[in-house]
Amino acid sequence: MKKRIAILGSTGSIGTQALDVIAQHPDRYEVETLTAHRNVQLLAQQAIRFQPNAVVITDAAKYGELKALLAGHPIKVYAGSEAVGEVVQLPSVEVVISSLVGVAGLKPTICAVEAKKQVALANKETLVAAGDLIRRLVKRSGAAIIPVDSEHSAIFQCLAGECSPIEKIYLTASGGPFLHASAADMARATKEQALKHPRWSMGAKVTIDSASMMNKGFEVIEARWLFDLKPEQIEVLVHPQSVVHSMVQLADGSIKAQLGTPDMRIPIGYALSFPERLPLSVKRFSFAQTPSLTFQKPDTEKFRCLALAYEALKIGGNAACALNAANEVAVEAFLQGRIGFGDIATLVEAGLRKNDFIAQPTLEDYLETDKRIRAELRIRN
Ligand code: MG
């Protein structure tokens, strides 16, 4: 029996790589649903190639164009973000790859969890904004969340076969394009410089987050919820070679690591095939070519976003939701050339300070926090 898969955000970086993994194993996987925001041309091409049962374009203005491109194919076409939540709940869908960008992924991920799907989670903002809620929903529904983020996949892989508690984890970070830049040079960085990631090929939002190390801060929060850890059990290490994808330290002092060439198809493949492994044609790592692997503590005075993420995690409640909303506003403003790179951390801090604390937020509280912080910061720009 083939596993039937829904990909949310199929035209993005994770979505296209997931389709590449699926194309390498047509005997095991079948595409049931594809969704995209507005890249109608690529979505239509993917649909014609993989013949899903349904496609969704969330930008409703593109519906007519998509419908015309798929005329003559037995593929149902839907539009609007509500439809994404509906298609993931279809009984025919077994695995949902949640690779939307930003807090837009929250509601569809909740729908998938409530429908007890296996969720391959690449949308980290869902856990950053509402980790506590997602954790409770997963417990109640019995759904499985398998991380796709490379660091969390590494930890998940290291934990296979372990039944003792985790002592601590080491999340590795490449350090991004500004690892060796001065704080002043980093603050003045252009969009082109910030978008040039040394190791990973990713979408624009996560690449900017990597340059500011907000991404690593988000991953600290993500790890807290995925593996039920305290903030002090999570340590970030700068590892510029990006070969060790993360590590787990266990009760006897043993440290387990997962290594390999930085290629997202490995964690995507593992999330689809767990507990098995798929043969994948990705480049093999060579110790001879990279004989030295280095690790160092990050500079949290320069990378203020990382320190702010730890702070939000310690505050708890809806603080990380405010942190995420402020960052989404800031990154968008930076990509549109309205603020400098150095202003991102300043805006994120402002968002955190302006938040009205709610200790145990409901879904409505999280959505309201997200909306309020966005509105507050947009006025100030
Ligand atoms: Mg990552």
CATH code of the domain containing 335: 1.10.1740.10
**Could you tell me the distance, in angstroms and rounded to a whole number, from the CA of residue 216 to the centre of ligand 1?**
7
Residues 100 and 211 grouped into a single domain? no
**Could you tell me the distance, in angstroms and rounded to a whole number, from the CA of residue 228 to the centre of ligand 1?**
18
**Could you tell me the distance, in angstroms and rounded to a whole number, from the CA of residue 159 to the centre of ligand 1?**
18
Q: How many domains does the chain have?
A: 3
Sign of the Cα pseudo-torsion (61, 65, 70, 71, in order)? positive
Residue 37: the pLDDT is 94
**Could you tell me the distance, in angstroms and rounded to a whole number, from the CA of residue 243 to the centre of ligand 1?**
12
The CATH number of whichever domain residue 27 belongs to comes to 3.40.50.720
**Could you tell me the distance, in angstroms and rounded to a whole number, from the CA of residue 185 to the centre of ligand 1?**
25
**Paired tokens of 293:** 């692997």
Domain boundary among 92, 118, 147: 147
Residues 310 and 320 grouped into a single domain? no
Q: Residue 379 — very low, low, confident or very high, per pLDDT cuts 50/70/90?
A: low
Residues 117 and 172 grouped into a single domain? no
Residue 380: the pLDDT is 60
**Could you tell me the distance, in angstroms and rounded to a whole number, from the CA of residue 151 to the centre of ligand 1?**
5
**Could you tell me the distance, in angstroms and rounded to a whole number, from the CA of residue 283 to the centre of ligand 1?**
19
**Could you tell me the distance, in angstroms and rounded to a whole number, from the CA of residue 114 to the centre of ligand 1?**
25
Q: Residue 14 — very low, low, confident or very high, per pLDDT cuts 50/70/90?
A: very high
**Could you tell me the distance, in angstroms and rounded to a whole number, from the CA of residue 179 to the centre of ligand 1?**
16
Taking only the tens place, the pLDDT of each residue in 183-228 is 999 999 999 999 988 777 778 899 999 999 999 999 999 999 999 9
Report the C-alpha gap between 221 and 306 in whole angstroms. Answer: 10
Residues 91 and 214 grouped into a single domain? no
Q: Average pLDDT for residues 31-53, to the nearest whole number?
A: 97
Whether residue 381 is predicted with pLDDT greater than 60 in this model: the reply is no
**Paired tokens of 59:** 């930008």
Domain boundary among 291, 314, 337: 314
Q: Average pLDDT for residues 135-143, to the nearest whole number?
A: 94
Report the C-alpha gap between 18 and 41 in whole angstroms. Answer: 18
Domain hosting residue 198, numbered range: 152-314
Residues 336 and 367 grouped into a single domain? yes
Q: Which residue type does 131 have?
A: G
Phi, psi of 288 (to 5 degrees): -65, -40
Domain boundary among 102, 125, 147: 147
Whether residue 279 is predicted with pLDDT greater than 70 in this model: the reply is yes
Residues 137 and 52 grouped into a single domain? yes
Closest CA to 134 of 104, 109, 98, 105: 109
Mean pLDDT, rounded, of the chain: 95
Residues 344 and 293 grouped into a single domain? no
**Could you tell me the distance, in angstroms and rounded to a whole number, from the CA of residue 36 to the centre of ligand 1?**
22
Taking only the tens place, the pLDDT of each residue in 47-103 is 999 999 999 999 999 999 999 999 999 999 999 999 999 999 999 999 999 999 888
Residues 343 and 263 grouped into a single domain? no
Residues 300 and 192 grouped into a single domain? yes
**Could you tell me the distance, in angstroms and rounded to a whole number, from the CA of residue 99 to the centre of ligand 1?**
13
Residues 108 and 20 grouped into a single domain? yes
**Could you tell me the distance, in angstroms and rounded to a whole number, from the CA of residue 18 to the centre of ligand 1?**
16
Residues 10 and 130 grouped into a single domain? yes
